[in-house]
Amino acid sequence: MKENHKSFVTLTAEERRKLVSDSIEQISKDYGNTILSDSSRNEFLVKRMTDLADRTVWAIGQQLACGTFAPDQFEAKFLIDAAQLPQGQRLAMQGKIDRIDICEDEENVYVKIIDYKSGKSDFNLLNTYYGLKIQLIMYMKAAMELEQKRHSGKNVIPAGILYYNMSDPIVELSTGEAADEDTVLYHIREELRMKGVINENKNILKKLDDTDSVSIAVPLAYKKSGDVDERKSRVMDTAHFDMLEDYVLQQSGRTAEQIYNGKVALNPYADGEYHSCKYCAYKEICGFSPDLPGHQFRKLNKMKDPDVWEKIREEITDGKKLD
Domain-by-domain residue ranges, the chain? 1-65, 68-262, 265-323
Compute the distance between CA of residue 233 and CA of residue 220 in angstroms, rounded to an integer.
4
Q: What is the mean pLDDT of residues 225-250?
A: 95
pLDDT tens digits, one per residue of 209-223: 999 999 999 999 999
Compute the distance between CA of residue 140 and CA of residue 158 in angstroms, rounded to an integer.
7
User: Is residue 321 pLDDT above 60, yes or no?
Assistant: no
274 vs 198: which has the higher pLDDT: 198
Q: What is the mean pLDDT of residues 192-220?
A: 96
pTM of the entire structure?
A: 0.89
pLDDT tens digits, one per residue of 6-45: 899 999 999 999 999 999 888 877 776 555 556 777 778 8
User: Is residue 129 pLDDT above 90, yes or no?
Assistant: yes
Compute the distance between CA of residue 201 and CA of residue 89 in angstroms, rounded to an integer.
38
pLDDT tens digits, one per residue of 69-127: 999 999 999 999 888 888 788 899 999 999 999 999 999 999 999 999 988 899 999 99
pLDDT at 322: 45
pLDDT at 323: 42
pLDDT at 35: 59
> Nearest-CA neighbor of 197 among 141, 133, 124, 127?
124
User: Is residue 64 pLDDT above 70, yes or no?
Assistant: yes
Compute the distance between CA of residue 264 and CA of residue 285 in angstroms, rounded to an integer.
14
What mean pLDDT value characterizes the chain? 90
Compute the distance between CA of residue 260 and CA of residue 281 in angstroms, rounded to an integer.
22
pLDDT at 36: 58
Which of 159-188 are b and which e, b meaning 16 or more Cβ less than 10 Å from the residue's Cβ?
A: bbbbbbbebbeeeeeeeeeeeeeeeeeebb
pLDDT tens digits, one per residue of 140-175: 999 999 999 999 999 999 999 999 999 998 888 887
pLDDT at 38: 63
Yes or no: say if 316 and 247 are a contact pair by the CB < 8 Å rule.
yes
